[in-house]
Amino acid sequence: MAKVSKKISNRFVKSVAKFQKVLQIAKDRDINESDTVSILTDVFSEVFGYDKYLEITREFAIRNTYCDLALKIDEKVQYLIEVKAIGIQLKDEHMKQALDYGANHGVEWVILTNGVEWKVYKIRFEKPINYDLVCSFNFLELNARTDKDQELLFIVAKEGLAKNTRKEYYKKAQTINRFIIGNLILNDIILNSIRKELRKLSDGVSINVSEIENIVRNEILKREIVEGDDAKFAESRISRFYKKANKKSQKKKAEKAYPVVEAVNSVTK
């Protein structure tokens, strides 16, 4: 991740504290969606560094309807913002509406927020169109002095766009997560390594890989790790990786063997 400059860091510390007070009052008063949008316009300006009049818009039409907010840099939409009233809990159905907005306009990045809860998504333009949760945070619980929370803020910040911060964070999130790690453990290479260690531990007792897989799958990993769309996506990604690695390995072996074969052929001619 790109390092947050001192200037931006100071802005985060000062402005986050300010809007934590504003949002807490708004939450206590249970303000409506329109008023929540008004506060968020200031948040995107003062916290995240977007020009309030040129880069934050409430008039972004998508197929005869308007999204709540859009962040535009040089006339290109960088984020679509789906806003709910501060007292409404964010749900999957809210993201589906934002997904439709993004898919219809070719915008990859969407933020779903009620001012307190924030969820950043990346749309995957595949068939069917899907999306990944990149990160989430509670604005009232942020400590803007810590590197961890500054990293989250920088993903949304205008300055973070120029440094591809959100893409780097997304790439990391796609690799270091429970679904990838869980399905990686279930890969034959890892299971065979466990089998070898167990044989050492048990002084050569016969152990089948299938026995180990059964225990890992049914007694160690949570069901959600090995079932569902996220698990299938992780399994598919790991499978593609090992197939590609295996092809490279076979190609290298063939290239190493080629000179030997040629030498043998020249002798036997």
Cα Dmax for the chain = 92
> Which of 44, 37, 45, 47 is CA-nearest to residue 17?
47
| % of the chain surpassing 90 pLDDT | 48
Q: Residue 3's pLDDT is what?
A: 81
- Taking the model in full, what pTM does it have? 0.73
261: pLDDT confidence band, cut at 50, 70 and 90? low
Q: What is the pLDDT of residues 135-188, one digit of tens each?
A: 999 999 999 999 999 999 999 999 999 888 988 888 887 777 788 888 889 888
Residue-range domains of the chain with CATH:
6-163 (3.90.1570.30), 178-268 (no CATH)
Q: Is the pLDDT of residue 97 over 60?
A: yes
What is the residue-averaged pLDDT of the chain? Answer: 86
Q: Tokens 């807490």 — which residue?
A: 24
Q: Residue 260's pLDDT is what?
A: 53
Neighbouring C-beta atoms of residue 157, cutoff 10 Å: 23
- To the nearest 10°, report the CA torsion of 154, 158, 159, 160: 40
**Could you tell me the two tokens for 1?**
């991740």
Q: Is the pLDDT of residue 242 over 90?
A: no
